[in-house]
Chain A
Amino acid sequence: MGTVISASSDVFHGGISCANSYYWDAGAAFLKNASRQDGESLFAFSYAIMRILSGSYDSALVLGVCKGSENPENDMLTHFFTDPFYQRQIGLNETIAAALQKREYMDRYGITEEQCAGVVVKNLGNALRNPYAHIKKKVEIDDVLASEVVMDPLRSMECAPKSEGIIAMLLAKEDLAKKLTDKPVWFKGYGSSIDKFYLGDRDLLDGQLKTAAMRAYDVAGITDPKKEIDVAEICEPYAFQELLWYEDLGFCERGEGGKFFDSGATKIDGKIPVNPSGGVIANNPYVSRGLYRLAEGFLQIRGQAGERQLDTKVTTALAHGTHGFAGQCHAVAIIGN
């Protein structure tokens, strides 16, 4: 291994600071020129990619670590994403921010509760075929709508759980990759963008995923994502966000996320399957969830996704990660063969 880049978050890691000091040697990073990124693990992926593209390293190991079972409620931790003077004192956390975003989305574009609940039904349905999923149960729209309202208008089943998730991904430069495997999957593009910090400074329905996606498409040479992306694994810690992210990723027009979902295009046998793994609603290892999306895309391209393998040919996959309130920051990676 040339270098190791890991992703973990101090606040999400049993009160250990620095979280990485604890798993460093087990992660093969001891005595290496290794580094860590705190937050969303797709950012760690881009860091590792850059180290290889710089020509300094032939290989890089990317790690994503999150042990949700040891943590308190996600929101007790996301509460500390706030500034100490203003947003923290009034009790803001990620779920409240998402609830404010959901109500705006419903008010401005007529997104329905049934469409939001439908995302849960689709993704948990897909998760039944994924051995790595945390939540495995068959649910109907009515089950979601009948689940407890936690932060109105969000119900408990529309919010992702807190899960375990350790992931390791090996990256190698072209000639080494060809020696290591007959079926390499190639890096095609990456883009990220971060919105303003204060929730009230932002348009919660016109965030930075659009910019991150455009940057990734530009690097990958993708001009029509609807046609060129064969599968998308995206981060939807709150079910309705999947609909909003469809719009930002260019799968449909602004405000059309609900209709696009209703068309069935994003089902596992649809034109552009989204989250055949079950997504974050089924498995939410907070920090490593973005890298999980990329690993799912990798498995789909290699035809190794087991029962959740798509029937159609997968040559290009999109992975998305998000961190912060109501999608403050986003990362998009494109891989293919």
Chain B
Amino acid sequence: MAEKQDFYILEDEVSIPYQNAYGPTWTRFFEGFKKEKIYGSRCLKCNRVLVPARSYCPRCFIEVEDVIEVSQEGAIVSWCLTEYEYFGMPTKPPFISALIRLDGTDAEFVHLVGGIDLSDPEYVRKTVKTGMKVKAVWKEEKTGHILDIKYFAPVK
């Protein structure tokens, strides 16, 4: 049996362009982003406010109320500082991913936390805390994209 190093290796890279349709619910959600609004949906059975807005409640499996605007402020439930980069990563490290419970909602919104110096991990660990209040910071130019919110920054 030949050793692994005896085999030829084919270096290959696959790039496949897709056109993903947002559909009515995501389109409505991102229309809100263009107006600097975050939309959620209230389930009429369990009464939870889910964010992002959606067409049904995954727990109760029923249609939900039309979109409602939710708060742009909330508290960090958990966070992760990424310092490692791999091929094709859409967000360049260092960045902070976080579960954010927006005020008045019942699900975590997953987004980035920024507006603080990320160059020193020790400083980040001392500064970012679970329970910390944060607020959405919008880009100047909005295209109806999840990163129209640049990040959530600590509330001063």
Contacts and interface: CB of A to CB of B under 8 A. Distances in A.
Nearest to B151: A90
Contact of B107 (A73, A100, A198): A198
Interface in A57-87: 69, 72-73, 75-76, 79, 84-87
A150 interface: yes
A200 B146 contact: no
A103 B80 contact: yes
A91 B109 contact: no
B99 interface: yes
B132 interface: no
A85 B79 CA distance: 21
A166 B88 CA distance: 28
A91 B97 contact: yes
Interface in A165-208: 196-201, 204
B86 A100 contact: no
A103 B124 CA distance: 14
Interface in B5-26: 12, 14, 18, 20, 22, 26
Nearest to A196: B58
Interface in A94-128: 96, 99-101, 103-104, 107
B135 to A, nearest CB: 17
B147 A104 contact: no
Given A86-B146, A91-B91, A199-B108, A104 B78 contact: yes
A204 B77 CA distance: 11
Contacts, number: 111
A91 B58 contact: no
Contacts of A18: none
A326 to B, nearest CB: 10
B99 A96 contact: no
A263 B81 CA distance: 32
Interface residues of B, number: 44
Contacts of A75: 86
Nearest to A100: B78
Interface residue tally on A, bucketed by range: 35 or more
A99 B80 contact: yes
Given A72-B86, A151-B84, A90 B112 contact: yes
B87 A100 contact: no
Given A84-B20, A85-B20, A196-B58, A90 B111 contact: yes
A2 interface: no
Contacts of A76: 86-89
B137 interface: no
A155 to B, nearest CB: 11
B59 A107 contact: no
A225 interface: no
Report the 5 A-B pairs with minimum CB-CB distance, sorted nearest first: A200-B108, A91-B91, A99-B80, A152-B81, A100-B78
26 contacts: A15-B14, A69-B4, A72-B86, A72-B87, A73-B87, A76-B87, A76-B88, A79-B88, A85-B22, A85-B146, A86-B110, A90-B97, A96-B82, A96-B97, A100-B80, A104-B78, A151-B82, A151-B84, A152-B125, A154-B80, A197-B58, A198-B110, A200-B99, A200-B107, A200-B108, A201-B108
